[in-house]
Structure 1
Amino acid sequence: MNKPNFRHLYLIIISLFFCSGLQAQKSSVVQPGPRGVYVFLGKKVPCGKIISAYKIERRIGSEEWKALGDVQAPVSLNELISRIETAKKILPAQPLPSRQRLQQLYERAMSSGTIDSLKGFSLYYPIKIGLGLIYYDAGVMTGKEVQYRVTELGVKGESGAIIVSDTISLPHPSVFDEIQFAGSSRSLKTVYLKWYSAGKNPGPLFMVHRIENKKPVLAGGTVGHYSVNDTTYYTFQDSLTLEQSRIELQYMMTPFDLLGNAGKSTQVVAVTHDNFSTSYFMHITSSKLADRTATRINWYYSDPPTLKNVEIYRSDYADRGFVLLASLGSKDTTYVDESIQPTQPYYYFLKAISKSGKRFKESDKFLSLAYHGVIPQSPVITETIGTTKGVSLTIEIKDPNARGVRVFRNDGNSDKLTVITDLILRGDKSQILFIDSSQYLSGRKNYTYAARSESLDNIPSELSNRVTVRPLVVSAPQKPAYFKAFISDKSVKLFWEDMIKADSTIAGYLVSRRTENATAISNLPYSPIAGDLQPFISNMLEDSSVVKGNTYSYTIQSVDKDKTRSLKKAFVTVSFKEEVAIAPIGLSFTSMPSAVKVEWGQVSYKGFQAYHIYRINNGKTAELLSELPASTNEFIDLKVEAGSEYKYFLTTVNQAGKESEHSEVVVISR
């Protein structure tokens, strides 16, 4: 296994901390983590040199301050390493120095009493946690606003400087630019993979997992970042065992922020021991040399190690008469054809020959003219129409010498335009009607289009005017996330994610309620309480029409400007009955490649302690899979097999140990 690339990650951490340091006077001493809150205590090591400890207090909402304890530096190197190993469980993407290096850092910190003595390593969170400079509070309840007070205790235990943090609440999802797979290469001894993201919010750290026995396993190897303009590339290289070199390997990548919060993992990609079948030519261009009559052809191949050589063919005609012009090495990417005649059009294509010499792949044919042209005039998009099948564009070609146009489109999120068509030949027409019926178009997004002309000798124009249009493709909005309920003496307060900020086509929400039997699931319909006639636009609602002693369940749906409601609903159940356990509602499941994810609506009642989730496998007796904390509303079952049927249901348990009736049953066949 290769060692982590410390230097690369160190530079990343330095740059990110420098950016955050510019805001230190405004920022809080607290930051959200994956399952708790990080409290940044200061730069003084609490070892008795300058201060002896940090006293930490916490309060929830407007309650009184409650002491959490005193934090002190470790008394030995072994204790430091033990703390660091514990910290790595919540900060899995941060590498660490060797034990010998840790000993040097520990001795330096203890003798100076300040983190500044560690220089660059002072930025590593696991080391700061180990030295007592960061306190990780894993006891924060979801949805509760908390605040911290940190007091320095002097060498004799006297109180010193006091810092009071801003308020903070959980959960905190990390969102990065969407990461896509860029390509891979493989030899008998190594595998190389690359992903990329476009935008201003890349993942600062990432981890690569290999799928083994249908489960993700952390892959060793060397990782790296580099950026070109607003595009960030993530690279991974690993050594292969003899057994691995003979089989197909599957990988996935997950981005992390510096606090251990994970972003969305990429899709699993397969890397076969012979990638020739999935390799291809890319970025083929031809251009004229300024100093002589010659054509330069440039190309890239997605996986050069799979090639024996590349052959170039040429003809005077587009459909016949091609002859071999040159045979080049697998790593070559340029060829200059000096055997051409001025003003004569030539057609070319490239042929990739596999290492075995028994297979080949041909590129598309392309035209190159042996004379210097001028930049053609840009086309104009004169009309746009959103249809139920996509988008229709009318493109007027202004330049009489333009051979055709290419159409560009963004992804509905960023400003980056990407070509979506080959050259659309104009023939004898001055206008082209283009219909974009891509299956990836969504009626929930506005798309930007532009076009570009190309002359007879493949010289492109500047991009045309940009137009924005929304297809009329019917697609329901997503249901609101983080639907929560809180009970007061006379009302129920409901909160949820503001979907309007994330989706401009959403007009508001429909909130409904029904009264439940406290111990069983009701079959009565829900009655709207907000958003029935016009969508309710706020992301919070107080229901004051409740009656003490009753149990209620609520549902919420997003409603877009076309009055289309989200197909799925979010659920929450509350009860004013004391110590009466109630069952969850709104169960749903998601089938994953090697697991099943079960979700349900939040439950809230006095004395609520935990959830019990049960599973019935192929008609067998129900088995208790897990007892889950009251703050969660999802469970991932990793112990599933293909070809089996599974049934799931839940109950709740109160503080007295009484278990509710079970919820509805969801069934999935693998």
Structure 2
Amino acid sequence: MKNLIIILAFLSLTVKAQKATQKTGDGFPFGNIMPGPNNVSGFLTSENSFNAYLNSIKQYVVYKDAKGNGRFKKITSTSFPSSFAEFEQRAGESQAVELKGFLKVKSDQEAYDLLKAGDPKKISFAFFSKDFLRAIGAIWEDKEISDNSPSTVYRLTKVDNNGKEDVVFEQKLADVKQMAMPQYQLQNLISSDSLVQLTWSSKLTASPVYQAKIYKKASNEQKYQLASSVLVFDVNDSSRVSFSERVTPGKLFNYYVVPEDFAGNEGLPSDTAFTISKSFSQLKGIEDFKIADSLKGAWLSWKGLPNEGVYTGIQILKSRKSTDGFIEVATVSSTDSSYYDKEILPNVVYFYQLRPLTIGAKGFGLLPSASANIAVKNQNEVPFAPQGLKVWQDSTAQVQLHWDINPEIDQFAYYVLRGTSKEDMRIISPALRTNIYTDSLSNLDGQTTYFYGLKLMNISQKMSDLSTTVMFKPLKVEFVPYPSGISARYADGIVKLLWEDMIAKHDEVIGYKVYRKGKADKEFKLLNSALVNTVIFEDATAEIGETYEYGVTALNGSASQSVLSPVATVTIPISSVLAPPADLYLVNKVEGVYLSWPNQADSKNLNLIYRKASAEKDFRMIAEIPTDNYVDASAQKGTLYSYRIVAKSKLGNSNPGVEKSIRRN
């Protein structure tokens, strides 16, 4: 055994940064660095021992270079417990008691001696516990990973008893490879009246799977809940997940598993298994089935079925014959105990059958149906007023009407009514046998609001009441005057726009929309979600260094929009936010010309140093530095030089700063 990791091959995991690209269902091998969804951790080992603190190692220190620029910062340190009491304090009393029982020792000192020796054969079981690993200082964790990136570098050092610190390794997150986790499939399912046993399996491959999360949902629940987390084990050439629990008899449960690596990264979910602890012989059929005449329909009622997951619904069948010709009317919830059937004709005998539906479990068939019949008498009632009327204008500039179909069977026709008020509505359609109608826009005025309504006539020539009316104002294209001019200027960090006041000149104009287009944009983009009712607009989203075109449209009360106004162009200079140093100081020193300047407000900016000899025509850059001083060691004695500084940021470069000259002594 060259290294403990070989023993724990099934735990293998390499790592990737939180923000590095990770394929769905992949994990990371067990090793020096292990990132998860909430932290990055690492595992410490020693040759042939679980104790990584042998050979006089006092502690391990973890440093992180979050930006990958060489600036490491200490984030945590680990150490081995100094006594069994400290181990118990770290791991908890139950972990300590369990360890002593497994080691078959009674005293704390005996347990600590074996723990300190780190014999894998005696303590390997404990590596299934993250609490144990934390307690012996075998893993470290970095929970502050919001700034991590593929460039982030971790450094591990070891410190001996004399305080000497040596680097163990450095590793960049981008260099860590990922490994696919298998997708598990249901292999075996056993259920009884109160016990469920399930096994999922996959082909045994080199993968970082450590444990599996079992998710469970009862038939009356909306969401899956975490039922348990179990360790994955290998049998021959397969990797398996086993789970068992006691359940409430008669309930339907769904289960699936999600593999997880040691760091908490999840793989793809398995297929879903469902179980039911109920035999077919124990299921009940429909009882106390009755039918009553109610409001020109048949009211069906029955004794409710038991609230058990085995029932999936109740099928309602109907026929005009008692022996055959049954068709499905509806399928209702298994918890329902009544149904109202309006699809009947007066004075006609109807025969009904009700049959409980069950899940498609092995050994389950069709349950017997319950039967009853009724003939509903004609009560000479008028139809219900139509419901659900919707009115809109389509792309062909026509007015479309749609409504819900009434439940009455003895319908004759629908009629569409229209008017300028609810009190003045007239029928405008022929007799309609459908629930749609098109009204021509040519008959309507774009400035008028209309009311639409419906009535239904049955075969007895009884007319319903008027439906709920819907107000509608047609959209007809109309000319809207546009602002003839617009001005734009950049000041105080925003672009300020001003245009001609069309609201004051035209009564129909109610507001404006402001549009902007950058150099990279193909089309203008709307800047304001709500209408602007003044002639002033300020754009605070314009970016430094960009050039924009602005335009304005006017809108009237019918939501008609004018063409775009003439555009105004504005460029936002970088110099408005980025300036060179205010001054420059030059001094001859032994090592060269010493340059210094006032410190900039933004410490993240760089300084570009330009130099020109008296015999040269142009300045050339000789250095790019983040500090506020520089020694030009390349300056030749007796030569007159001119210097100037340019500030540099992620936005670009500033204008050149003050120019000063000096002769090198």
Give the TM-score taking structure 1 as reference length: 0.34
Report the TM-score when normalising by structure 2. 0.34
